[in-house]
């Protein structure tokens, strides 16, 4: 049975993206959860458009991770300089 809440492009799967995401607790960020959703449904719903959406969310996650790494590197560098000056 398909409805607006449980559409066919999810109910035809052995496990829905929502079930998979929830079963893994806090493993996924919002962006990665959206990647899972769009990649899971692309053949059944919007094809290339869904893959492009997944790519956008993946790029967003990568940018956030790169920013976090850069900020942590700067903080670590500052900490080391501070330790040398003590």
Domain that holds residue 42: 8-85
In a domain, 59, yes or no: yes
d(CA 16, CA 33): 12
In a domain, 3, yes or no: no
In a domain, 49, yes or no: yes
The residue among 9 and 18 whose pLDDT is bigger is 18
How large is the average pLDDT for residues 11-34? 92
Global confidence as pTM? 0.76
> Number of folded domains in the chain?
1
In a domain, 39, yes or no: yes
Rg (CA), the chain: 19
Residue 73 has what pLDDT? 80
d(CA 40, CA 43): 8
| Cβ burial, residue 54 (10 Å; 0-12/13-18/19+) | buried
In a domain, 2, yes or no: no
d(CA 31, CA 61): 6
In a domain, 60, yes or no: yes
């Amino acid at each position: 049975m398909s409805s607006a809440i449980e559409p066919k492009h999810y109910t035809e799967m052995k496990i829905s993206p929502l079930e998979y995401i929830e079963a893994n607790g806090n493993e996924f960020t919002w962006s990665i959860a959206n990647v899972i959703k769009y990649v899971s449904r692309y053949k059944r719903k919007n094809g290339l458009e869904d893959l492009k959406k997944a790519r956008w969310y993946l790029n967003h996650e990568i940018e956030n991770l790169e920013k976090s790494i850069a900020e942590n590197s700067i903080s670590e560098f500052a900490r080391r300089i501070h330790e040398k000056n003590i």
